[in-house]
Chain A
Amino acid sequence: MGVRIVASGTSGVTNEANASQHDGAIALGQAAARACLASAGVAGADVDILIYVGVYRDDNIVEPAIAALIQRDIGMSLDFAKTSVAGFSFDLLNSGCGIVNAMQVASAYLHGGGVRRVLLVSSDAHPSGRAAADFPFAAVGGALLLEHDADAAAPRFGRLQVRDGGDGDGDDDDGVGPGSEGFLSFATAGTNGRDHITVVRDGDYEPRALTLLSSSILEYAAAEGLNLDETLIVTSSLSPGFGDKVAAAVGVAADRVLSATGIDTDPLSSSLTIAWDQAARSGRLSGTEPILFAAVGGGLTSACLVCRR
Chain B
Amino acid sequence: MVYARFESLGVSLPARRQSTAELLAQVHCPTPIPLEEFTGIRSRRVCGDDEDSLGLAVAAARDCLSRSRYRADEIDIVIFTSISRALCDRPRMSFEPSMAGLVKRAIGARNATHFDVSNACAGMTTGVQIVDRMIKAGVVRNGLVVSGERITPIAAAASAEITDPRHQQVASLTVGDAGAAVVVDVSDSPADRIHHIELLTSAEFSDLCFGMPSETQPGMAMYADNRAMHARERVQLWPRFQRDFLARHGATFASEQYDFIVQHQVSALAIHLFSRCGAQVFGQPMPESLSVVEEFGNTATTSHYLVLHQALKEGRLSGGKVLLVPAASGIVVGFVSATISSLKVA
Q: Count of A residues near B, CB < 8 Å?
A: 73
Complex Cα spacing A186 to B88, Å = 11
Q: Are A93 and B213 in contact (CB under 8 A)?
A: no
Complex Cα spacing A299 to B205, Å = 35
Q: Count of B residues near A, CB < 8 Å?
A: 76
Which 9 pairs from chain A and chain B are nearest by CB?
A: A193-B213, A170-B110, A63-B211, A111-B137, A298-B97, A64-B329, A72-B203, A68-B206, A182-B96
Within the complex, which residue of A80, A90, A94, A297 is in contact with B237, where a contact is CB–CB below 8 Å?
A80
Q: Are A65 and B137 in contact (CB under 8 A)?
A: no
Q: Are A63 and B120 in contact (CB under 8 A)?
A: yes
- What is the chain A residue whose CB lies nearest that of B113? A162
Q: Which residues of A contact B92 (CB under 8 A)?
A: 183-186, 198
Q: How many A-B residue pairs have CB under 8 A?
A: 249
Complex Cα spacing A216 to B196, Å = 37
Q: Are B118 and A65 in contact (CB under 8 A)?
A: yes
Q: Are A101 and B206 in contact (CB under 8 A)?
A: no
Chain A stretch 171-198: residues in CB contact (< 8 A) with chain B: 171-172, 178-187, 189-191, 193-194, 196-198
Give me 13 other A-B pairs in contact (C-beta within 8 A), A172-B105, A181-B94 excluded.
Answer: A63-B209, A65-B119, A65-B120, A72-B206, A80-B241, A89-B203, A94-B97, A94-B101, A111-B137, A112-B137, A162-B113, A182-B94, A297-B97
Chain B stretch 53-112: residues in CB contact (< 8 A) with chain A: 73, 83-85, 87, 90-98, 100-101, 104-106, 108-112
Q: How far is the CB of B204 from chain A (nearest CB, A)?
A: 4
Within the complex, which residue of A60, A90, A186, A197 is in contact with B218, where a contact is CB–CB below 8 Å?
A186
Q: Are A81 and B218 in contact (CB under 8 A)?
A: no
Interface of B is mostly: mixed
Complex Cα spacing A69 to B9, Å = 32
Q: Is A79 an interface residue (CB 8 A)?
A: yes
Q: Are A180 and B97 in contact (CB under 8 A)?
A: yes
Q: Are B330 and A299 in contact (CB under 8 A)?
A: no
Chain B stretch 205-264: residues in CB contact (< 8 A) with chain A: 205-207, 209-220, 222, 233, 236-237, 240-241, 244-245
Within the complex, which residue of B115, B138, B213, B218 is in contact with A98, where a contact is CB–CB below 8 Å?
B115
Within the complex, which residue of A78, A92, A172, A298 is in contact with B204, where a contact is CB–CB below 8 Å?
A78
Chain A stretch 78-114: residues in CB contact (< 8 A) with chain B: 78-81, 84, 86-95, 97-98, 101, 104-105, 107-109, 111-112
Complex Cα spacing A97 to B14, Å = 32
Q: How far is the CB of B212 from chain A (nearest CB, A)?
A: 5
Q: Is A33 an interface residue (CB 8 A)?
A: no
Partner-contacting stretch, out of B23-31, B126-134, B272-280: B126-134
Given A63-B83, A76-B203, A101-B113; A190-B218 close (CB under 8 Å):
yes
